[in-house]
């Protein structure tokens, strides 16, 4: 709630009235439920939208800065009055409107989105940020989106469906960490059982005619790695979108990946289908991206935490899955921690997260991994192996995921501390987040029995914490459904 500064000259009655009015506005306002009918034409060239608002609405916007480039026409349904766009906002009358009709040039939006470059014409990829003109949503507000599709046209949207109505979706508040993909046309959709959830995997079609099944199975395998943390997949409503695109800058099978928290959680993977399937399994990108789902969206000023935890788990979980040997997993962790240590030594992790990524990338990606290792080891040590970072994330998933909002670093770590009998996360944050340099890991690596011999590490089984080291990469769960 906003802070209210009140003059001493105000009477108690006026003070009470002001406070109550503020509370009523901020807390007791009724949630709004809007309804959108979205019709896509058979040529995938236009979208026609009729938006009916719960109340008179005087502010409607699109998230994309150039959304007005794709807006063909808009009008008030009731009066027929034409409505113009100015940047990302519509110029609505002061009294507001209850119904809005507008038309989007879907073909133009697709042509200007480079993600369509290698896709067949029967596939169109755009973001709802360019075609969803909407009121600003508060907590509790929602938009029910009903899709009308031509025969043979499929759709994949980032929002959860409502009940058994496959073409009806519910849009609510979300961190909006990026612009999620909406896909229209003809593509492969496979619903894979991953631990306790049915995970939709959308494979868009490109000019390459190779079967999609091996790559879809690779996606499922990497998603299943995440169940090896605490026996479940973190979000039952997530989806995966695979974008085939020939690599023009090398021979990497997996060119790019990201998690977008926009309406729902979407894992996007850009892959080169011309590469042998073995090279997909050599990539860590998919496991890294799926690992992000174990945390909420952390504000980018603290992204060293989210990126670092994903770096840590991408190696730990690959070892638990049998893709990495213990030796290889610890070698990768050791080498990565060293790169983080050597990167931007004058900056703290928080400062590095706000600096030029080209100069601080390794500091950002490995500072959080160092804290994850320190916390995981200490939790196991204090509890005699009865508690771990896996267990804390398990409890956090049960209480707090998926999360519709953005978290700060200290807020996240304070919540972690509330979920364990041996709080330590806030202390680690205070010790390292604002401190120039890198979290101290040399001593814990020594105690774990990880020592450097030449350029390679050696694992000492007689080390003080050798059993904990082995437990960190041991497979605790089989990926069977959990509660």
pTM of the predicted model, to two decimals? Answer: 0.91
Class of domain 297-472: mainly alpha
- pLDDT digits over 155-164, tens only? 999 999 997 6
* Backbone region of residue 145 per phi and psi (left: phi > 0; alpha: psi in -120 to 50; beta: other values): beta
CA distance 201 to 3: 45
- Which CATH topology does 33-173 take? Immunoglobulin-like (2.60.40)
In order of 120, 142, 146, 176, 403, the CA distances from 173 in angstroms are 33, 7, 18, 8, 10
Q: What are the CA-CA distances from residue 325 to residues 218, 318, 446, 464 (Å)?
A: 19, 9, 19, 21
User: In the prediction, which pLDDT does 19 show?
Assistant: 32
Q: What is the three-class DSSP state of 55?
A: strand
* Domain boundary assignment for the chain: 33-173, 187-291, 297-472
Q: Return the pLDDT at 357.
A: 75
Asked whether this chain's domains 33-173 and 297-472 adopt the same fold, the reply is no
pLDDT of residue 80: 96
Is the Cβ–Cβ distance between 169 and 262 less than 8 Å?
A: no
Low-confidence ranges of the chain (pLDDT < 50): 1-28, 479-483
> What is the model's pLDDT at position 165?
66
**pLDDT at residue 161, as a whole number:** 92
């Amino acid at each position: 709630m906003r802070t209210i500064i009140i003059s001493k000259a105000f009477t108690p009655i006026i003070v009470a009235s002001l406070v109550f009015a503020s509370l009523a506005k901020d807390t007791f306002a009724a949630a709004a439920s809007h309804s959108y009918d979205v019709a896509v034409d058979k040529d995938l060239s236009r979208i026609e939208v009729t938006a009916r608002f719960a109340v008179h609405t005087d502010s409607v916007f699109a998230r994309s800065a150039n959304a007005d480039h794709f807006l063909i026409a808009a009008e008030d349904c009731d009066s027929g009055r034409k409505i113009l766009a100015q940047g990302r906002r519509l110029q609505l009358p002061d009294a507001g409107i209850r119904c809005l009709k507008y038309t989007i040039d879907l073909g133009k939006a697709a042509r200007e989105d480079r993600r369509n470059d290698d896709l067949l014409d029967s596939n169109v990829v755009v973001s709802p940020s360019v075609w969803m003109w909407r009121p600003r949503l508060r907590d509790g507000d929602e938009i029910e989106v009903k899709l009308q599709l031509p025969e043979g046209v499929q759709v994949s949207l980032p929002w959860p469906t409502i009940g058994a109505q496959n073409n009806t979706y519910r849009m609510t508040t979300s961190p909006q960490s990026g612009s999620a993909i909406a896909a229209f046309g003809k593509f492969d959709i496979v619903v894979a059982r991953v631990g306790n959830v049915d995970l939709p995997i959308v494979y868009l079609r490109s000019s390459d005619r190779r079967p999609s099944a091996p790559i879809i199975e690779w996606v499922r395998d990497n998603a299943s790695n995440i169940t090896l943390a605490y026996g479940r997949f973190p979000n039952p409503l997530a989806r995966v979108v695979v974008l085939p695109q020939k690599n023009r800058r090398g021979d990497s099978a997996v060119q790019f990946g990201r998690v977008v928290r926009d309406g729902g959680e979407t894992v996007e993977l850009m892959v080169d289908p011309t590469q042998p399937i073995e090279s997909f399994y050599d990539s860590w990108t998919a496991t890294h991206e799926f690992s992000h789902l174990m945390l909420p969206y952390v504000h980018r000023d603290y992204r060293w935490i989210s990126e670092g935890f994903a770096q840590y788990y991408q190696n730990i979980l690959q070892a638990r899955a049998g893709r990495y040997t213990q030796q290889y997993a610890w070698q990768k962790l050791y080498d990565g921690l060293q790169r983080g240590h050597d990167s931007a030594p004058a900056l703290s992790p928080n400062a590095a997260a706000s600096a030029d990524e080209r100069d601080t990338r390794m500091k950002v990606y490995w500072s959080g991994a160092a804290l994850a290792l320190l916390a995981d080891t200490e939790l196991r040590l204090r509890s005699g192996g009865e508690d771990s970072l896996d267990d804390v994330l398990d409890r956090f998933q049960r209480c707090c995921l998926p999360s519709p909002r953005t978290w700060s670093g200290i807020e996240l770590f304070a919540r972690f501390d509330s979920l364990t009998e041996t709080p330590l996360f806030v202390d680690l944050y205070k010790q390292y987040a604002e401190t120039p340099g890198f979290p101290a890991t040399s001593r814990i690596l020594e105690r774990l029995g990880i020592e450097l011999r030449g350029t390679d590490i050696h694992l000492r089984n007689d080390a003080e914490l050798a059993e904990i080291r082995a437990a960190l990469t041991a497979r605790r769960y089989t990926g069977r459904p959990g509660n």
